[in-house]
């Protein structure tokens, strides 16, 4: 019975299958083809969707839809959010969930890309090119120059610079607070620190209040791009110049406050500068380098090449050397007036060395050892560059001493100008400020104005109102006495003298007063004021008052005085030239007897009588002696303390062939002969009256010297001796040079240091012991350790930079 039931069930199945087959067979062939195509399309679509879903980074949908701030939070916000960990509602706890990233460029439409899923065993990362924008955890970061992706490893060490998009980010974070220890890594810092870092990046990486650790996080990425990517990737190598500009910008903001960052960033900039080195760098323009702890390797290489080639060092390279030499401290005038200092240094350098300084070939070989700041790169070892037989001449002290002398003299020449700028920030182009510069640095418009004045001189002189002179020189205001004296000094240095003699104590002329400018031939010695010259000035002033007594200082009287000046051979050519200019001024504006009275009183009777006799000669030099001139002579004699009755006898004595002189306006006198011997004797007898003259002209001499109350106080940082050097740890010059050389690398072979010590005339072991003792005394740590190799204590550099 059982068998029958089983057989019956089997028959039913067979019948059903037969029906299905018959049904399928009845379907047309075209329908089956269409169904097959549809099935194939569905299968391909299914497979594609599955692959895309597996490889794309999924968007994180934030529960809190409020926008995240990209600026610093307030103090209250920091205290409530940066210290406490995020709550479960707002914290991302699954590190495998990636964050969506958007990239925008200035040259393309806004586009979106997703970082591909990492291959098995590693993460995914991407360098965001310069100029692109990126959005991470709701914060837009401008400018690019960062690595973004999922957690990755570079070698065996997590890459500290990578902005890991699968790491949680807090809602708030303050980048002005220190939130992590030394050698930070984005993947290992706290959630709030990540938020703070993203905020700092979003703000343009420029807030000077940012904690330096955040700056280092960004710097690690630049380091990796330069040291790793650029070695094989031409695109990365093409970015080196822009990265160098970014380093310069960061150094200006954060370098002054962090010696450590200044050192690392300066070395990386150095490394970039070496990427396109060539022979004879000393013949090429010197790039601009940020201020760092040591002389940039580019400059050291250029100097070494010059030494190898026995070529003179160009002024531009010498200037770059002294600006970066750690043991040359540029004082305020050199830094405040940087452009003027550079120009003047170049001029003085050529004056001293003509074509340039020649450097010796010393034993110390130039090497560059770069120690990365990033822990991710540091474990791969240090990067080294060697330059064959090129010497490192910066270890020598002799050449730098020669340059230091030029630095000091140049700085001193700019001190007055620097003090003026400290009080007049916008006065760098004003006449009052320009006059304080050496004439070689004067602007072209002022130089052209002076040349125009010189070209207008007749017989080496030109007469003009004082106001016209100031207008020609583009003075913005009436000059004070001090500024007028400065003008006189400046004009004299350009080969132009001025009367009245402000440098000799003359009163400051009014704007409407007349001045006389006279030419000083090139090479003529500008003589100082002497007693003999002062007597000559007093003589001319007295003579002018007599000659003008009749209201007419005529040509004959002026010719007599001009002839007399030219006969005074005991005076220098410069003095004679100045006296002739003074005479021309006195013809226009004679001196008053009253103004001369005080100067005449101290003279002894013999000197006064000789002066009186000369005045009588001047009075009748125009072949007539008027009653007005006789009255003036009587006044002069009275001031001199001489009996006025001697006036007539002195007139007769001056011209013995003349009949008796009568006090009438029509009185005629015959030709006279001046007793030059008597006048010359008076001029030559300087020893006799020098003490008296010192008292006579003392008041004017005091006027010509700026009063201490007027002189601007020298800045405190300029009051130090300009020869003082900044030596490390109280060491002497040679040991200081060795210590600085040691600090340039973390490790040295003994053989290398033996060459350095030899260049410095030091015994290596004794020198190292001396440096270590000094370091123990100051910081209680050793400077070096080991014998070969010799290790430099990294903590020393931090202590010194602090």
By residue count, the chain amounts to 802
CB atoms within 10 A of CB 116: 13
Least confidently predicted of 175-179, 291-295, 324-328, 400-404: 291-295
Least confidently predicted of 319-323, 383-387, 455-459, 466-470: 383-387
Assess contact for 728 and 738: CB atoms under 8 A.
no
CA 15 to the chain's CA centroid: 104
Residue from 618, 500, 497 nearest 548 by CA:
618
Assess contact for 374 and 223: CB atoms under 8 A.
yes
Rounded to an integer, the average pLDDT of 193-219 is: 92
- Say how far apart CA 319 and CA 282 lie, in whole Å: 12
102 strand-pairing partners: 112, 135
- Say how far apart CA 709 and CA 714 lie, in whole Å: 12
Averaged pLDDT of the chain:
74
Is residue 98 pLDDT above 50, yes or no? no
Q: Which pLDDT score is estimated for 756?
A: 79
Assess contact for 536 and 683: CB atoms under 8 A.
yes
Helix (H) or strand (E) holding 612: helix 605-619
> Could you say which DSSP state residue 656 is in?
T
Residue 259, CA distances (Å) to 254, 265, 657 in order = 9, 10, 92
Q: Which range is most confident: 349-353, 603-607, 638-642?
A: 349-353
- Say how far apart CA 19 and CA 23 lie, in whole Å: 6
Give Cβ neighbours of residue 460 (< 8 Å, ≥ 6 apart): 518, 519, 577
| HEC assignment per residue over 19-35 | HHHHHHHHCCHHHHHHH
- Say how far apart CA 266 and CA 305 lie, in whole Å: 22
Give Cβ neighbours of residue 64 (< 8 Å, ≥ 6 apart): 89, 90, 171
In this prediction, residue 726 has a pLDDT band, given cuts at 50, 70 and 90, of low
Could you read off the pLDDT of 518-541 as tens digits, one per residue?
999 888 888 888 877 887 888 888
Is residue 689 pLDDT above 50, yes or no? no
Helix (H) or strand (E) holding 788: none
Token pair, residue 592, equals: 């008053």
Q: Which pLDDT score is estimated for 425?
A: 72
Write b or e for each residue in 139-158: b if 16 or more Cβ atoms lie within 10 A of its Cβ, otherwise e: bebebbbbbbbbbbebeeeb
Could you identify the residue written with the tokens 């005074």?
Answer: 568
Q: Would you list the DSSP string of 566-580?
A: HH-TTS-HHHHHHHH
- Say how far apart CA 53 and CA 522 lie, in whole Å: 89
Q: Residue 303: is it exposed, middle or buried by C-beta count within 10 angstroms (0-12/13-18/19+)?
A: buried
- Say how far apart CA 221 and CA 215 lie, in whole Å: 10
- Say how far apart CA 733 and CA 739 lie, in whole Å: 10
Residue from 557, 572, 725, 698 nearest 632 by CA:
557
Residue 636, CA distances (Å) to 128, 625, 666 in order = 94, 15, 22
Rounded to an integer, the average pLDDT of 429-451 is: 84
In terms of C-beta distances under 8 Å and separation of at least 24 residues, what long-range contacts does 417-420 make, across chains too? 417/333, 417/337, 417/340, 418/332, 418/333, 418/336, 418/337, 418/718, 419/712, 419/714, 419/715, 420/712
Q: Which pLDDT score is estimated for 504?
A: 85
Higher pLDDT among residues 283 and 646, named by residue: 283
In this prediction, residue 619 has a pLDDT band, given cuts at 50, 70 and 90, of low
Q: Which pLDDT score is estimated for 18?
A: 63
Higher pLDDT among residues 313 and 571, named by residue: 313
Is residue 671 pLDDT above 60, yes or no? no
Q: Give the CA count within 13 Å in the CB-facing half-sphere of 138.
A: 20
CA 150 to the chain's CA centroid: 44
Assess contact for 476 and 596: CB atoms under 8 A.
no
In this prediction, residue 307 has a pLDDT band, given cuts at 50, 70 and 90, of very high
Task: Estimate the share of the chain in helix, then strand, then coil, as percent rounded to the nearest 5.
Answer: 50, 10, 40
Is residue 121 pLDDT above 90, yes or no? no
In this prediction, residue 42 has a pLDDT band, given cuts at 50, 70 and 90, of low
Residue 450, CA distances (Å) to 455, 486, 490, 518, 576 in order = 9, 15, 11, 12, 23
Assess contact for 690 and 581: CB atoms under 8 A.
no
Residue from 534, 578, 571 nearest 694 by CA:
534
Could you read off the pLDDT of 240-275 as tens digits, one per residue?
999 999 999 999 999 888 888 988 898 899 888 887
Torsion sign, CA atoms 499, 502, 505, 509: positive
Assess contact for 195 and 136: CB atoms under 8 A.
no
Is residue 727 pLDDT above 50, yes or no? yes
Token pair, residue 596, equals: 């001369």
Rounded to an integer, the average pLDDT of 57-85 is: 32
Higher pLDDT among residues 301 and 743, named by residue: 301
Assess contact for 749 and 386: CB atoms under 8 A.
no
- In 3-state terms, what secondary structure has residue 268? helix
Token pair, residue 686, equals: 């300087």
- Say how far apart CA 209 and CA 212 lie, in whole Å: 9
Q: Tell how strand 153-154 and strand 157-158 pair up.
A: antiparallel
Give Cβ neighbours of residue 249 (< 8 Å, ≥ 6 apart): 206
- Say how far apart CA 214 and CA 204 lie, in whole Å: 13
- What are the backbone dihedrals phi and psi of residue 125, each rounded to the nearest 5 degrees, phi first? -150, 160
Rg for the chain, CA atoms, rounded: 45
Rounded to an integer, the average pLDDT of 685-696 is: 41
- Say how far apart CA 650 and CA 646 lie, in whole Å: 6
Higher pLDDT among residues 746 and 96, named by residue: 746
pTM of the model: 0.59
Assess contact for 675 and 382: CB atoms under 8 A.
no
- Say how far apart CA 427 and CA 430 lie, in whole Å: 5
Q: Tell how strand 790-792 and strand 784-785 pair up.
A: antiparallel
- In 3-state terms, what secondary structure has residue 11? helix
User: E strands, 476-548, where?
Assistant: 496-499, 514-519
Start-to-end CA distance of the chain, whole Å, equals 106
Q: Tell how strand 133-136 and strand 102-104 pair up.
A: antiparallel
- Say how far apart CA 131 and CA 102 lie, in whole Å: 14
Q: Residue 718: is it exposed, middle or buried by C-beta count within 10 angstroms (0-12/13-18/19+)?
A: middle
Q: Give percent of the chain above pLDDT 70.
A: 72
Is residue 627 pLDDT above 80, yes or no? no
Is residue 697 pLDDT above 50, yes or no? no
Higher pLDDT among residues 522 and 577, named by residue: 577
In this prediction, residue 768 has a pLDDT band, given cuts at 50, 70 and 90, of confident
């Amino acid at each position: 019975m059982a068998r029958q039931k089983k057989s019956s069930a089997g028959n039913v199945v067979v019948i059903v299958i037969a029906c299905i087959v018959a049904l399928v067979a009845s379907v047309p062939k075209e329908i089956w083809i269409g169904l097959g195509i549809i099935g194939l399309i569905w299968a391909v679509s299914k497979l594609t969707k599955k692959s895309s879903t597996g490889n794309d980074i999924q968007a994180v949908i934030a529960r809190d839809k409020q926008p995240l701030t990209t600026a610093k939070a307030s103090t209250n916000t920091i205290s409530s959010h940066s210290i406490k960990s995020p709550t479960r509602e707002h914290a991302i706890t699954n590190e495998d969930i990636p964050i969506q990233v958007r990239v925008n460029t200035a040259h393309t439409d806004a586009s979106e890309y997703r970082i591909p899923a990492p291959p098995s065993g590693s993460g995914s990362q991407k360098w965001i090119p310069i100029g692109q924008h990126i959005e991470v955890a709701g914060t837009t970061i401008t400018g690019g120059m960062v690595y973004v992706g999922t957690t990755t490893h570079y070698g065996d060490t997590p890459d500290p610079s990578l902005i890991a998009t699968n790491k949680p980010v807090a809602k708030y974070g303050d980048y002005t607070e220190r939130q992590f220890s030394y050698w930070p890594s984005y993947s290992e810092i706290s959630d709030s620190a990540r938020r703070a870092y993203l905020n700092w990046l979003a703000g343009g990486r420029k807030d000077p209040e940012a904690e330096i650790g955040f700056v280092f996080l960004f710097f690690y990425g630049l380091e990796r791009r330069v040291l790793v990517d650029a070695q094989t990737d031409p695109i990365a190598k093409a970015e080196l110049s822009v990265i160098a500009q970014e380093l310069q910008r960061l150094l200006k903001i954060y370098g002054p406050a962090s010696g450590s960052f200044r050192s690392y960033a300066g070395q990386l900039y150095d490394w970039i500068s070496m990427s396109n080195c060539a022979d004879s760098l000393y013949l090429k323009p010197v790039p601009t380098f940020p201020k760092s702890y040591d002389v940039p390797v580019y400059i050291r290489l250029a100097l070494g090449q010059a030494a190898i080639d026995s070529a003179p060092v160009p002024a531009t390279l010498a200037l770059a050397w002294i600006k970066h030499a750690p043991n040359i401290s540029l004082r305020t005038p050199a830094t405040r007036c940087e452009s003027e200092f550079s120009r003047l240094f170049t001029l003085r350098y050529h004056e001293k060395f003509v074509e340039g300084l020649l450097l010796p070939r010393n034993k110390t070989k130039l090497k560059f050892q770069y120690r990365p700041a990033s822990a991710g790169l540091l474990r791969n070892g240090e990067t080294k560059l060697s330059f064959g037989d090129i010497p490192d001449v910066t270890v020598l002290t002799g050449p730098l001493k020669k340059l230091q002398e030029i630095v000091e003299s140049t700085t001193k020449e700019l001190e007055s100008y620097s003090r003026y700028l400290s009080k007049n920030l916008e006065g760098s182009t004003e006449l009052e400020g320009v006059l304080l510069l050496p004439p070689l640095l004067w602007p072209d418009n002022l130089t052209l104005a002076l040349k125009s004045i010189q070209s207008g001189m007749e017989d080496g002189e030109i007469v003009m109102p004082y106001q016209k002179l100031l207008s020609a020189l583009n003075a913005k205001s009436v000059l004070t006495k001090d500024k007028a004296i400065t003008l006189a000094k400046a004009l004299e240095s350009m080969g132009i003298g001025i009367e009245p003699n402000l440098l000799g104590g003359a009163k400051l002329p009014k704007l409407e007063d007349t001045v006389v400018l006279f030419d000083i031939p090139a090479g003529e010695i500008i003589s100082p004021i002497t007693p003999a010259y002062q007597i000559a000035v007093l003589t001319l002033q007295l003579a002018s008052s007599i000659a003008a007594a009749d209201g007419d200082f005529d040509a004959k009287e002026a010719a007599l005085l001009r002839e007399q000046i030219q006969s005074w051979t005991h005076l220098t050519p410069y003095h004679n030239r100045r006296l002739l200019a003074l005479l021309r001024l006195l013809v226009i504006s004679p001196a008053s007897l009253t103004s001369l009275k005080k100067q005449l009183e101290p003279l002894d009777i013999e000197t006064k009588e000789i002066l009186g006799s000369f005045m009588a000669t001047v009075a009748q030099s125009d072949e007539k002696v008027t009653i007005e001139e006789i009255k003036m002579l009587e006044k002069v004699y009275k001031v001199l303390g001489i009996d006025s009755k001697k006036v007539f006898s002195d007139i007769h004595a001056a011209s013995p062939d003349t009949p008796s002189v009568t006090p009438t306006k029509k009185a005629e006198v015959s030709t006279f002969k001046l007793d030059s011997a008597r006048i010359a004797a008076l001029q030559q007898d300087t020893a006799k009256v020098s003490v008296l003259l010192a008292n006579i002209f003392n008041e004017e001499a005091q006027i010509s010297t700026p009063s201490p109350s007027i002189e601007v106080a020298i800045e405190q940082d300029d009051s130090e001796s300009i020869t003082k050097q900044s030596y490390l740890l109280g060491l002497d010059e040679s040991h200081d040079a060795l210590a600085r050389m040691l600090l340039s690398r973390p490790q040295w072979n003994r053989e290398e240091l033996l060459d350095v010590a030899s260049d410095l005339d030091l015994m290596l072991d004794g020198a190292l012991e001396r440096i270590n003792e000094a370091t123990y005394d100051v910081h209680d740590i050793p400077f070096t350790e080991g014998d070969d190799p010799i290790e430099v204590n990294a903590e020393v550099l931090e202590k010194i930079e602090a």
